[in-house]
Amino acid sequence: MTSGTKESPAVQRILSLHFDTPESERLATYTASGGYSACRRAFARPPEDVTEEVKKSGLRGRGGAGFPAGVKWGFIPKNTERPMYLCINADESEPGTFKDRYIMERDPHMLLEGILITCWAIRSHDAYIYIRGEFEDARRVLQAAIDEAYAAGHLGANPCGSGWRIDVTIHRGAGAYICGEETGLLESLEGKKGYPRIKPPFPAVVGLFQSPTIINNVETIACVPWILEHGGEAYARIGVGKSTGTKLWCISGHVARPGVYETPLGVPFRTLLEEYAGGMRHPDRPLKAVIPGGSSVPVLTASEALGVNMDYESLGQLGTMLGSAGVMVIEEGTCMVWALAVITRFYAEESCGQCTPCREGTSWVNDIMWRLERGGATPEDIALVHNLCDNMIGKTICVLADAMVMPAKSFMKKFKPEFDAHIAAGRCPLPQPVRD
Amino acid sequence: MPETSTKPELLPPAALARLEELARRYPTREALMLPALWMVQREHGWISTEAMQYVAKLLDVSPVRVYGVVSFYHMFHERAPGKYNIQVCQTLSCSLLGAEKLLQHLQDTLGIAHGEVCPNGRFMVQRVECLGACEHAPVCQINDDFVFDLTPAALDAKLAELP
Amino acid sequence: MPKIHIDEREIEAGANENLIATAARAGVHIPHFCWHPALSVAGNCRQCLVEIEGVPKPQIACNTPLKDGMVVRTKSPAIQEARRGVLEFLLLNHPIDCPICDQAGECRLQEYYMSHGLYDARRNVDKVHKPKVVDLGPHVLLDAERCVLCTRCVRFCSEVARSDELYVAERGSHSEIATFPGQPLVNAYSGNVVDICPVGALLSKEFRFKSRVWWLKKADSVCTSCARGCNVRIDHHWNQVQRQVPRYNPEVNSYWMCDRGRTHIDWINEQRVTAAQHGEQTLVLREAFELLAARLAAAGSAVTVVLSPKLANEDLLAWRHLFTAVLPAAHLGAGSLEPAQPEDDILRRADPHPNTWSVQALELAADVRALWQAPAKLLLLVGDDPVGWDPALAAGLARFDFVAAALTNHNATATSVLAAGGLLLPLATHAEYAGTFNNYAGRVQRFEAALAPFGSALAAHEMAVELALVLRREFWPAGKPRTSVQQGIWQQLAPAIPAMPRIDWEHVPPEGLNPTWKPTARPRSVLTGEDATDAYSWGAAPEAARAGEHG
């Protein structure tokens, strides 16, 4: 099957193998390449074994937090009369991220098989796929795949002969980034505003409809069939250190070939940029900055990025995060103050408004950022924003506030001269900031 | 269930039947909130206060809860939108690749800004946040459909070919 | 019970307690907006952040389960900074219009700013503007700019009033408390949201702009609008009741009261009978009592005395004693024609009187119309407004040689009595003396004097004593009481009635006395006619009013 050492892994891709196959979304294509056999292996094993296998794989949540999936599954209460629920977080709204869309549009059965195995492992009969409202195309493809799966007996009362009822329902969101937060998702699914919940209690104990619930990202679950087919240890041999397996990278911004690319974790950023994304789009505009994991993580300077490997630990050592793997590449000539203002605008728009520091702080910081860019800011504003960030981070119900603070503080620190120049000039000093 | 009345049901029988079928997948009726609201918006293009009361009755929840939900989610329209709702992403990757120009272009050619409907009711423009298609930046959605790799000219061409 | 440390003090916590509640019990006030002991935890204001040893991030005290040995710091520099930060965020878009805001003086933003804030304003962006005078319902106004979105009001309407009329509309910094468009806030307990609103966002329409709260004097009292007997506080100024708010009593009304009871206060301030009147003439009290005494002597035992279930225990005991042991009366009873009110399983009782229980216990319950029609030469009314409830009664006044009425207000009964050449005596309201009511469950609850009596108004029990005095009869079986008239009544008159509780008048606690006795009279429900433990009768209601009794 697969063998190879960490130095020259034989496995380069797991998830994207069929992204470009014609009719890859059809059941026939999926079964032709061996689909719906991994779940049969899982059904033949005790559920705890399946969880152990996923634990062994070292698979970490691919939504952004990077929490080990097998460990999360282990949190389900052993003695409970309440039903277990599985929620698939397909809300994919982290700026710069679009990998889950590819999985749902191009290999939905891989996700469905992952759901089957996960439901078996956590003793759940019901899975909900919470998909962002804007992904209507993906939703249609996914629903068609679900219909095919039901018709073929891979879902329903007796999926693949397991005797374990598994039903999958797609639940369409309606335009709110905060519904990608685990408990915001639960509230939204229950029919309310997407207000994240105070914790404790945690979803594994009190989740959907007051019942124990596991919430996992699309990509995380999509990895599960391979792990059951080839073993957790084989998965753990791919990648580097505690960053096991492969990763779908979303590369966008000022590159020649933006897109989704899959490599083992630990790939050098330089390789991603030059070999996969075709390098910078304009030869005379070199790399200036990179946001490696969706806008909610600290930014890297060009020199930092060009020297880093893309894995959880290496990025952590540079003070940033792998996050959602939404890699946004920024070229020289871009005004970083303006870029930050665009980012803070996102958080101000998406704050649910429930708790004081985020509701007021995101809007205040955003207003100051645009004032910095367009005029009217004072020298005290930089220190003010730093202090407001300190008053927001770690003091809120969920981490949306932190998600704004990460880019805000890192941009202001690493590109300080630009911010100072804006204040000195009273507005953006660039004659025509590059914006196209 | 709503009482019979001389007013036509706000949702056609097929939609109501689908909703009841869906109800078997959830332990509470309140969980049908988003599905029901999407059905209403699909049917009528937007969600009026009358429709909110209708959904409240269907779901056996207080009307103000429906109102809170509709006003929270940005994809729900509380007023009639244009025939084509042009939702232009303005988050980072799209802005890096020219979203501001697109929005300015729409303002210049159609004469409408965020949230506005042009006088003949054909187009509405909305600034939206990351649409999850950054590899094709700048993007917009026209109603439910993505339009990738836009330039002002490409957008004009797309709008022109709409029925 | 877990033992925890708060700011170097060791405190024993109660079972299943929240950190913020434990701290409050121990006298450590942790600032907060959204937490309320009778509502679910929201955890959204973030004002109650505290440091917990071993936990990296500050935690909200309102959602921290207690662990034995937990070490909590509420005053560290980091927490002070966090508190100031939250306050600054709250005040970012707040209008700070204290000079025109009713909440000034009892506003948490003010209090916390003075104790934890005191910073120079750094706000340098435009404030978000929202509607400032939203007519939310018949009793409540909303100023959306002042709102801190603590959602206490939303949770109250959902969990206590169970009407689910409020929710938060919109998102982010444009969030606003709202009812469904076009639907007002009409639950029967809407006024409570004004009490629990920690800022001046939800305001009482009745109290708006009436008085600054630091001018108000306060007195513990009991609501008289139904048989629940919600504990209240009367806030007054210039000898007028300015507002009435609930007083916490876990065994009666928790933190709440209904709107009807809350707003039923104008009658205490307005249209009061402040002097004795006979026809056109105003009399001093002495003259009035002498006149009445003379007429009583002339009538002998042909006297009908009609009391009211709105009278306090002391009043009922005194008058019953006066006309059973001191003076003769052919007919003595207590009743009312006031119709039943809407009842629910939250607080409201159908019986609109505060003391029906005692009327039953004293075996005074009677049909008012029957009393008015009984043959007698003199009719003596104490309290209520029977002609107001049934105008047809007025014609019956002509039958009597003399009519006298002790009333609080210039109502229809007062007008009819004067028109019939009768005597009107100024009766004090419960706000003007101290006494006790027994609620529907027989709980003895004491109310204090809030206002000085209006004009020459006297409490009913004082009138009974005065009348005996003027008639040169001995009122007190065991001699004049040494402490107070009320104490004397309880010590000397109450023991004669087995069904009445034995209490020490001077030591009735503010939360009242649990009943430990059973009434001997089995009351009948006026609504169903059946024996009922929870419903009390007070005489037949007019048919017209009965039709609307479920309101």
The CA-CA-CA angle for residues C168, C170, C176, to 5°, reads 50
- Residues from chain C contacting residue B65 (CB–CB below 8 Å): 164, 167
Contact: B75, A334; criterion CB under 8 Å = no
- CB-nearest partner of C49 from A350, A353, A395: A395
The verdict on a CB contact (< 8 Å) between A200 and C174 is no
Question: What are the structure tokens assigned to C502, written together?
Answer: 């034995």
Give the pLDDT of residue C545: 28
Q: Which amino acid is at A259?
A: G
CATH class of the A243-331 domain in this structure: alpha beta
Q: Measured between CB atoms, does A415 come within 8 Å of chain B?
A: no
- The pLDDT mean for chain C works out to 91
Q: What is the pLDDT of residues C8-18, one digit of tens each?
A: 899 988 777 78
Q: What is the 3-state secondary structure (H, E, C) of B83-110?
A: CEEEEEECCHHHHHCCHHHHHHHHHHHH
Model pLDDT, residue B9: 87
- Interacting residues of A137 by C-beta distance below 8 A, sequence separation 6+: A105, B144, B145, B146
Residue C546 pLDDT greater than 80, yes or no: no
Q: Name the B residues in 85-114 with CB < 8 Å from any A CB.
A: 87, 90-93, 95-98, 100-101
User: What is the band of B3 on the pLDDT scale with cuts at 50, 70, 90?
Assistant: very low
A4 confidence band (pLDDT: 50, 70, 90) = very low
What order do you get walking across the sheet with B145-147 strand by strand? B123-128, B84-89, B140-142, B145-147
Q: List all residues 6 or more positions away from C522 whose beta carbon is below 8 Å from its beta carbon.
A: C531
pLDDT at A2: 40
From A253's Cα to the closest Cα of chain C, the distance in A is 28
Residues of A with Cβ-Cβ distance to C45 under 8 angstroms: 355-356
- Tell me if A175 and B28 make a contact (CB, 8 A cut-off): no
pLDDT of residue A3: 41
Taking CB atoms and an 8 Å limit, are A175 and B130 in contact across chains? no
Percentage of residues in chain A having pLDDT higher than 70: 97
Contact at CB, B75 and A93, closer than 8 angstroms:
no
* C64-75: pLDDT as tens digits: 988 899 999 999
Number of neighbours of residue B13 by Cβ within 10 angstroms: 8
- As a whole number of angstroms, the distance between CA C357 and CA A388 comes to 60
Three-class secondary structure of residue C431 per DSSP? helix
Res A430: pLDDT: 83
| B52 contacts on C by Cβ (under 8 Å) | 180
pLDDT, mean of residues A69-77: 95
Q: What is the pTM of this model?
A: 0.92
Contacts with A362 from chain C: Cβ below 8 Å: 172-173
How many angstroms from the chain centroid is the CA of residue C183? 28
Give yes or no for residue C274 having a pLDDT over 80: yes
**Do C164 and B49 count as a contact with CB atoms less than 8 A apart?**
no
Chain B hits for C177, CB-CB cut-off 8 Å, are none
- According to DSSP, residue A154 is labeled S
Average pLDDT over residues C476-491: 95
Does the pLDDT value for residue C186 go beyond 60? yes
Q: With an 8 Å Cβ cutoff, are A253 and B61 in contact?
A: no
The pLDDT, as a whole number, for residue C540 is 25
**B71–C contact, CB cutoff 8 A:** yes
Q: Does C181 touch chain B (CB under 8 A)?
A: yes
Chain B partners within 8 Å of A192 (Cβ):
30, 33, 65, 68-69
Which A-chain residues 16-35 have CB contacts (< 8 A) with chain B? Answer: none
Judged by a CB distance cut-off of 8 A, whether residue B75 touches chain C is no
Domain boundaries, chain B: 13-72, 84-160
φ/ψ of B120, rounded to 5, equals -85, 5
- What tokens were used for C187? 């639950």
Q: Whole-angstrom Cα distance, residue B72 to residue A195?
A: 10
Average pLDDT over residues A345-371: 97
- In B, minimum Cα distance to C166 occurs at B64
Q: Write out residues 130-149 of B within 8 Å (CB-CB) of A.
A: 130-137, 141, 144-146
Q: Give CA–CA dist C254/C232, Å, rounded.
A: 11
Least confident stretch, A311-320, A327-336, B3-12: B3-12
DSSP C82-143: HHHHHHHHHHHS----GGG-TTTTS-HHHHHIIIII-------SPPPP--S-EE-SSSEEE-
pLDDT tens for A193-251 read 999 999 989 999 999 999 999 999 999 999 999 999 999 999 999 999 999 999 999 99
Which of C296, C312, C289 has the alpha carbon at shortest distance from C485?
Answer: C312
What pLDDT sits at residue C525? 38
Is the per-residue pLDDT at A404 higher than 80?
yes
Output the pLDDT for position C114. 92
Interface test with C, best of B62, B64, B65, B66 (most C CBs within 10 A): B64
pLDDT for residue A435: 55
Residue of B nearest to A335 (CA): B96
Nearest to A174 among B75, B95, B97 (CB): B75
Q: CA-CA distance, C260 to C413, in Å (whole number)?
A: 23
Tell me whether B68 touches chain C (CB under 8 Å): yes
pLDDT at C24: 87
Q: Are β-strands C423-426 and C276-278 bridged in parallel, bridged antiparallel, or unpaired?
A: antiparallel
Quick check: C124 contacting A, CB < 8 Å?
yes
What's the pLDDT at C507? 87
Average pLDDT over residues A18-46: 97
The pLDDT, as a whole number, for residue C18 is 85
Contact between B107 and B148 (Cβ < 8 Å): no
**pLDDT score recorded for residue C526:** 39
* pLDDT tops 90 at residue B136: yes
> Is the pLDDT reported for residue C522 higher than 50?
no
Quote the minimal CA–CA distance from C139 to chain B in Å. 19
Query: Among all residues of chain B, which has the CA nearest to that of A354?
Result: B72
Looking at chain B, the whole-number percentage of residues with pLDDT higher than 70 is 95
- pLDDT above 90 (res A344): yes
Chain A hits for B136, Cβ within 8 Å = 258
CATH, range B84-160: 3.40.30.10
Structure confidence at residue C121 as a pLDDT band (50, 70, 90): confident
Instruction: Report yes or no: B61 at the C interface, CB cutoff 8 Å.
Output: yes
Region(s) of chain A under CATH 3.10.20.600: 243-331
Residue B2's pLDDT is what? 43
Neighbours of B, requiring at least 3 CB pairs below 8 Å, are: A, C
Quote the mean pLDDT of chain A: 95
Closest partner residue to B130 (CB to CB) among A100, A135, A346 is: A346
Q: What is the pLDDT of residues C317-361, one digit of tens each?
A: 999 999 999 999 999 999 999 999 999 999 999 999 999 999 999
- 8 A C-beta contact, residue C537 and residue C523: yes
- pLDDT of res. A432: 60
Least confident of A274-283, B101-110, C16-25: C16-25
Judge whether C159 is closer than 8 Å to chain B, CB to CB.
Answer: no
Residue C236 has pLDDT above 50, yes or no: yes
Token digits of residue B92: 């980072």
Residue A354 has a pLDDT of 97
Numbered ranges of CATH 3.40.50.11540 in chain A = 10-236
Is pLDDT above 60 for C248? yes
What value of ipTM does the predicted structure carry?
Answer: 0.95
CATH number, span A10-236: 3.40.50.11540
Residue C44 has its nearest CB partner, among A351, A362, A397, at A397
Neighbours of C346 (CB within 10 A): 16
CA distance B149 to chain C (A): 31
Residue C530 in this model has a pLDDT that exceeds 70: no
pLDDT at C397 over 90: yes
pLDDT of residue A434: 52
Reported as a pLDDT band with limits 50, 70 and 90, residue C534 is very low
Which pLDDT score is estimated for B7?
A: 61
Asked if CATH classification 1.20.1440.230 holds for the domain at A336-425, the reply, yes or no, is: yes
- The tens digit of pLDDT for each residue in B31-57 reads 999 999 999 999 999 999 999 999 999
Residue intervals of chain A classified under CATH 1.20.1440.230 are 336-425
Q: What is the CATH number of domain B13-72?
A: 1.10.10.1590
- Across the range B26-31, mean pLDDT stands at 98
pLDDT at C319: 98
Kind and range of the H or E element at A213? strand A213-217
- Interface contact flag, B71 C165, Cβ < 8 Å: no
pLDDT tens track for C81-93? 999 999 999 999 9
Nearest neighbour of C166 by CB, restricted to B61, B64, B74:
B64
Distance from CA of A195 to the nearest CA of C (A): 10
The whole-number pLDDT of residue A7 equals 46
Specify the pLDDT at position C515. Answer: 73
User: Which one of A98, A165, A255, A406 would you mutate to disrupt binding with B, by most B Cβ within 10 Å of its Cβ?
Assistant: A98
- Residue in B52, B62, B74 nearest the CB of C164: B62
**Percent with pLDDT over 70 in chain C:** 93
Nearest Cα of chain A lies from the Cα of C344 at a distance, in angstroms, of: 28
Chains that touch C (3 or more CB pairs under 8 A): A, B
